[in-house]
Structure 1
Amino acid sequence: MSDDILSHVRALKAYGRSLCGNAADAEDLVQETLLRAIENAGSYRPGTHMRAWLFTIMRNRFYTNVRKSARERTGAADCVSSGPIVQATQDWHMASQEMQQALADMPVHYREALVLVAVIGESYQHAAEVLGCDIGTIKSRVNRARGILRRALGEAA
């Protein structure tokens, strides 16, 4: 009998998709149907239409699952489906735009020092060598540049 059941799997998958509406749920339904058919192999009467017997098992299993899911309560407040699907990115985008504008408005010598030290991560000594000035000048420029950014972006920055 197991060979006969396996020859109907393709038809079961098609019928399962028509019942469930999606392939993943249909696959689960086919597995449940095959399990029930194997468990109840003794109730199959040889000489009857095996595909019709399997389709009946599948349909009954489908409607049982539908009734069961209708009785199950989903969590109201803690349900994942009530949360946003995609995180809002516009806040980060706007903050990035404001930061870029504040850097563009900043005097070039402050911007260069800040980018070298705070963004790229160069040491004050190496930044002083790159810009051709004293280390104290670099520290002062970075400090002033940070102050300009704080004022431009608000004290929260």
Structure 2
Amino acid sequence: MDTAQFEACWHTHIRRIVAYAERHVGRDVACDIGSSTFLTAWRTWDVVPPEPLPWLISVARGHVRNHQRSLRRRGSLEQRLALLDESAFAGPDASVTATERAEALAVLAAMPEHDREALLLVAWDGLTTEQAAQVLGCRPGTLRMRLHRARARIESTSTGPALPIARSAQ
């Protein structure tokens, strides 16, 4: 690696890479995208072409896409969490703290939809596994497997005692 060539590339193109990123992700993240782009260039300097700008923009484009995907996933998770929080009813059990509730809702929101739906049909809607399987159009054995995965996920991510949703779904 020729450090002088890399530094010259950096000084020549960093403003254009950051400007490109800023058009797509805003000022707050653009410098991070620029840094990530040049980190990629540093790590793979032997494949950077003699005219690096198009290659650098292509790499920056990939980092922009990753950032946008991350934002979409986070937004989707926050939306699911908000929907779950709105639909969760307060239980008469005083042992369910706000922290446990928030933890349970976050775990539920992060679950694959078919596992979460199976758990909620049984735990919140009070259906039997056979009834829930009928609602979801699957076999009772399939539903039991989904419940098992959902409960295992809750138990593996729980930091405290068993979460209320796991207790009520058994």
TM range (shorter): 0.3 to 0.5
- TM (norm. structure 1) is 0.42
TM-score relative to the length of structure 2: 0.39
Larger Rg: 1
